[in-house]
Amino acid sequence: MRIGLSLLAAGLMTTAITVLLITVHPRDASPVMRHISIASSEGSKRLSNGNLVDFVIATPLETKLKRASWTAPTLSLDFVLASDRSLDDPTVIQLMRDVESVVRMSFLQAENVSRVLIRFGESPQANAEAGLYASPSSTATYRLLMAADVRRTDRWITEEQSRWQGMSNAESDGLWKSRLRLSFTPLWEMKRNAAFKAGQDHISTPDEE
């Protein structure tokens, strides 16, 4: 019975956090972002369900966030792109920059995050009018594109930060692809091929005079 109540409480907390993320627009939060800290009153830098919203707002992200979940010691974040968004090189680099931002915040700013799970998917509901945080009602149409799995026990995490360079090129960099445990779905591959073909067609098409 206690286990059931604990799971119910955790589910309700995740739902409440998701709603808060949707209602907090970065435009409204920007004046206080510089002062946000995940440090508790005791001074320790520990992530919790109580400060997860602050943690997400303080993380510099460029892609819409669909869901954030904290189940100690694992942080899970789902991002969403519009279905008609091309996976061209600038977009892919943007996604990898978001991965880097989450990794840096999780392992350099928090002391109790042991694992980070990140997913990127697409949905027709992820429109520009939704702001940074997309509606959670689009679960049925969320199609996975890419996932990352990073752990504090990974040897490279303890290296000097200067050696963390290059994460934004992880899709084409075998070392970073392995470090971040990147996995790509057939949908990702299809959209990447389509973006590459569109780029080639644009180059081969002579400019109209």
Q: Report the 3 state secondary structure along the chain.
A: CHHHHHHHHHHHHHHHHHHHHHHCCHHHHHHHHCCCCCECCCCCECCCCCCHHHHHHHCCCCCEEEEEEEECCEEEEEEEEECCCCCCHHHHHHHHHHHHHHHHHHHHHCCCCCEEEEEEEEECCCCHHHCCECCHHHHHHCEEEEEEEEECCCHHHHCCHHHHCCHHHCCCCHHHHHHCCCEECHHHHHHHHHHHHHHHHHHHCCCCC
Contact by Cβ (8 Å): 120, 87: no
Kindly report the CA angle at 173 between 170 and 177, in degrees rounded to 5? 55
The number of residues making up the chain comes to: 209
pLDDT-derived band at 52, boundaries 50, 70, 90: very high
- According to the model, what pLDDT value does residue 200 have? 77
- According to the model, what pLDDT value does residue 20 have? 46
pLDDT-derived band at 141, boundaries 50, 70, 90: confident
Mean pLDDT of the chain: 80
Q: Give the span between the Cα atoms of 148 and 146, in whole angstroms.
A: 7
- According to the model, what pLDDT value does residue 35 have? 41
122 forms bridges with which residues in the sheet?
A: 81, 143
- According to the model, what pLDDT value does residue 33 have? 36
Does residue 203 register a pLDDT over 70?
no
- According to the model, what pLDDT value does residue 28 have? 39
Mean pLDDT (whole number) for 38-61: 80
pLDDT in tens, 2-13: 545 454 445 545
Does residue 26 register a pLDDT over 90?
no
- According to the model, what pLDDT value does residue 163 have? 87
Q: Give the span between the Cα atoms of 126 and 124, in whole angstroms.
A: 6
pLDDT in tens, 89-123: 999 999 999 999 999 999 999 999 999 999 999 99
Conformation bin of residue 4: beta by default, left when phi > 0, alpha when psi is -120 to 50: alpha
Specify the pairing of strand 143-151 against strand 115-123: antiparallel
Structure tokens at 18: 């998701």
pTM: 0.77
pLDDT-derived band at 151, boundaries 50, 70, 90: very high
pLDDT in tens, 157-195: 998 888 899 999 999 999 999 999 999 999 999 999 999
Residue type, 10: A
